[in-house]
Every structure is written in structure tokens, then in C-alpha cells.
Structure 1
Amino acid sequence: MILTHIALLSSADNIKGRRSLFQVRSLRMGQCADLNGRQTMAYVEVVSTAVLLFDFCITFDSEVRWTWGRKWEIMRIAFVISRYLPIASVAMYRYYNVQSLQRGIPNPGMFIVVDGTMTTLGSAAADVLLVARTYAFCGGEKRILIAISSFGMATTAAMLTVIIIVVNQSGNPQCGAWEGQQSIIHGLHTIFQLVLMFLTLYKRFKFHRTENGQLVTAIYRDGVFYMLCITLFSMLDWLTMLVHPLSFVCGFYGPGPQTVMHSVLASHILFNLLAANESGDVIENLPVAPRMVFAQQIQTASCVDHLELWDNTDP
């Protein structure tokens, strides 16, 4: 009996020792995986920052040509926010990465609110340029402008509400608390982008099938390309969450590839529209934006609804 009892105790000790060893190994593996995930996200963020700065350099002359010296109205304000706010968000995110690896963020909840709000507003400003493109492609129909603007504002409000809820639910929010809410934010924004893309496709194939003008082609091509890129990066974000959930969630809706692509593509859409229109003829116009005029629908000889976007600053 004594020998049996001793054997049972020895077996129990061995089991506990194995469990402890397994837990230590699991902890080390988890730390290594988290470290690899952080390194991967750091590389991605560095590349995103480089792309943003490089695009800023190569398009600076276009910015000077098309936006400087104009009145501060809706379109110019949206352009400036979508172009420059991501730079500030990138700087804040770099600060977050450095501080989180050293001694931690003093007030992570406030940081989530500030950086999340900046990123959301930057994306919303880029969407304003996209809404203007869709409005022009739809022939300046006010009901369409009202509908997509209302939907966009509701989406932005929902995204900001999610950020506030996450902070209020926890006095010291951690990375894991943001995982589900981040998916909601990406989903809402992707839905808005898809709605605009399907509206563009519908108008293209229903009303502009025989229209091969440079402006219509630029509006259609840039819009669809923009939507596809944003959808692709949203899918990559979700896949990254599955592969490196902790490291990616810690990089909450920050200035990653999706935010950078928002800024870059929105700027190129505006520049391409104005450049394409520079070589076109100006038709009957209806002013709706600063120094820009969207044409009303007119009936051409080919019975095709035609629209133009005109920069009226030239004397």
C-alpha cells in the first residue's frame, strides 16, 4: 500500500511537471508568435508610410495645380483632410508602437478615441471625393446625392459610435477588446464602398454603354479600380486578423494599408478627373462644388446622357 501510494504521488508529480513544462513552452511559443506578428505589422506599416510619402512627392505638382489658390469649400476641405490627416495618424501610430514596447501608453482609451477618430474622418473625407465622382457619373441627380450622402454620414456615425463604445466598456481597453469591433468598422466601410461601386456599374451599363468620352471613362475606370483596391485590402486585413489576431488587433484600425490606399487613390481620382476634363469641351453647367462645376444631363445627338466636370478657374 505504501509503495502504491508513493507511486501514485510520483506519477502525480510527473504529470504536474509535464503540465508546467507544457505551459512554459506554450507561453514561449505564444510570445514568439506575438513577436513575429508585431514585426510583420511593423514592416507593413513602414511600407505603407513609404507609399504615402512617395505618392505625396510625385503628386505634389498636381496638388499645386488643381487645389492651391481655390476657395475653402467642401471639395477642397475634403481633399486636404484625406491627403494630410493620414500623415498625422501615421505619426501617432509610430508613437503608439514605440511606447507600447517600452513602458506602455499612459491613457490607451484616449489614444484609441483620437487615432480611431482621425482615421475614420480621413476615410470619410476620401469618400466625399468618391461621392462627388459618383454624383457626376449619375448626371447630377440630387436624389442620388442626398441618398448616398445620408448613407455615408450614417456609416461614419456608426463607426465613431463603435470606437466610443469600446472605450466606455473598459477603463483600460486592451487589444483583445477591439477585435470584434474592428471587424464591424471594416464591414461598415466596405458595405458603403460596394454600394457606390454597384451604383457606378449600374449607371455605366444602363446609361453610358455607348459613351466613350475621356471623362466618362476616367470616372468609371477610377471608381471601379478604387473600389476593388479597397475591397482587396479589407480582405487582407481580415486574413491578417486570422493569422496574427493579437498583433493585428493591437494595430486597431490605424494608418495601415487600407488608410493609405484611401488617401492615395482618392487624390488620384480627383487629379485624373480634372486632367481628363482639361482636354474636353465644357457643356451646360451646374455649380455644386468649389471651383468645380458638374454638368446637368443633356440630350446629345446619339441620345446618350452626357455629363462633364469642369474646372472654371481659368479666365
Structure 2
Amino acid sequence: MRAFLYDRPTAVDEAVAAVAADPQAAFLAGGTTQVDLMKDGVWTPDRLVDITRLPLRGILVESQQLKVGALTTMEELAAEPVVAQRLAFVREALLHGASVQLRNMATIGGNLLQRTRCRYFRDPTVSACNRRSPDSGCAAVDNVARMHAILGVDERCIALHASDVAVPLIAVDASVLVNGPAGQRRIPLTEFWVRADEGPSIENVLGHGDLITEIDIPLLPQGWRSGYLKVRDRASYEFALTSAAVALQLDGDLIADIRIALGGVGSVPWRAREAEEMLRGTPVDPLRFEQAGRAVMASAFTVPGTAFKVDLAVRTLSRQLLTMTEAKR
């Protein structure tokens, strides 16, 4: 690993100023992904600004939302009783997202900022990667691409966003509070990430020196049910091939309201608004569940290695919709 400078500020403004003043500086929190990237030579900051001692950890429960400090660990959020009661699919995504050891180190803010797991991005000997080296091409398009995206991508980049918990978070319209050189602002998570087909070398809307300080998560209304289904090659510690986060409210046999997001298929966590619109206010119907999934997949861009994900994503969503509606009836 390359040598680097190390700072440990004691205040948020101090941390933001330290990174903003140095183009080669970056924040360090749990480091569960960053250290790997540094060892591989993919990410080479000259200065790390350690934010783990800043007062950005904890969960505040309000009547309609949770305010979660960015340094709160995945395990701490999963253990919060209100999450189990009112945001079951967030808890399930957290528990499916990593081993216990990693959940006790990885922070919520860091999870949202994790880099793609594309093998070509993470191998610096591969020259063709538009995400790592703009205008160099995309090696994944013509090579092994099983763990890649089919939505929000094109021939320039098919990198997948791997976060599990980000999927239900966009379903409930969570947002992040960001402190940066220009001050403080709030960003809805649905506007936080940049799709690969809109900018293959840009992952999110943060500028240099911007720091996530808080995640605000609206609570589902009483009477809603939610769940997260993750399909993967093995049952433990594996990234999703496809996943579905569903939250809904039934009125008899009608789906009164619904929220859907998909993982394992998009260059960003994917809000399935087409499916929501097709199902809201309609009777529970397995055939319509499949049709809703097909509507989301209509814009899929596939290569030989990812073509199977279209049908798998439809089945994943259909199965989770059946699970949620049967459990409520």
C-alpha cells in the first residue's frame, strides 16, 4: 500500500475543511471497502481524514422518521426496535448485506458510498474501465459479466451498485444530510446516485469535501407490511444477483398503496415506479405481478452474461409481492 498522511479532526467543519483543501484527501470511516481498494491500487489518496471520532453516531426516533447518524453501524441500525417494527425490509436488507463482523464495522454513510464490485473496476491491470479511467472503454461488456447491471446502463458502463440497504431506503424516500464547503444541504436518495448511462465516471452528486452527516428515514405508516428478498448464489455473505424491497398496504383484496425498489440490477438502487403505478389500487393478482415486473425490465440493457437477470428479476419481484400479499390476507 502507498504511504499516506493521516488526520483525525475533532469537529465536522474541521474535517470538511481538511478534505476540501486537499484534492488528494478523502474521508475514512469504517474502511471496510476503502482499505481493499487502497491495497489493490485502485484508490490512492495521499491523505486520509479519519471521521470516526466525530459526533455522528446514534439513532433519534421521531414520530414519523428516524434520524440516523452517518457513523452508525449497520448492526446498530438493525438492532433498533423501531426498525424491526416499522421498517422490516430495512432490517432484513442490513442483516443480509454482510457478515456480523462487517456489520459491526461498516457505517450506514459508508454503505451508501461503497464503490462498485465490478471486477474490472477493481483490477488496475485492466485498462478499459470508464468508471476508473474515463473514455477508456468498458471491459465488462465483452467479458464475464454475471454480477453486473442491466438497468441504467449502456455500452459505456454496466457497473452494478451493490448496496442492499440502499434498496429499501429509496423505496421509503430516505434522504441524506450533507455538510460541505458550500454549507449544508439535504439530498433525496432518489437523486443521490448518478446512473452509469448518464455519466459512467460519476457515481454520486457529492462534491470534493462533501460529507454525509445524517440519514433521515421516513417510517412506514402503521398497518403497512414490508420485506426484502435477496437472490444470490449462496446463502451467506454474497452480493445479490437480484433483490426486491416491497412495502404495501392492503384494503381487503386491493393493494391500496405500494413502494417497490430493486437491487442487483441497476447501476443505482432502482426505484420501480412503473410497477408501483401498475399495482396501486388494483386487486391482488399474480399475473399482474409478473406484468409489473416486465414493465420495469422493458428498458433493460443486457450482454450475454447478464441476460438471465431479466427473467430472474421478474420472478424475484413476483415472489416477494406474493409473499407480502399472502401474509396480509
Superposition TM-score, scaled by structure 2 size: 0.27
Report which structure shows greater RCO (CA 8 Å, sep ≥6): 1
Superposition TM-score, scaled by structure 1 size: 0.28
Structure number, greater radius of gyration: 1
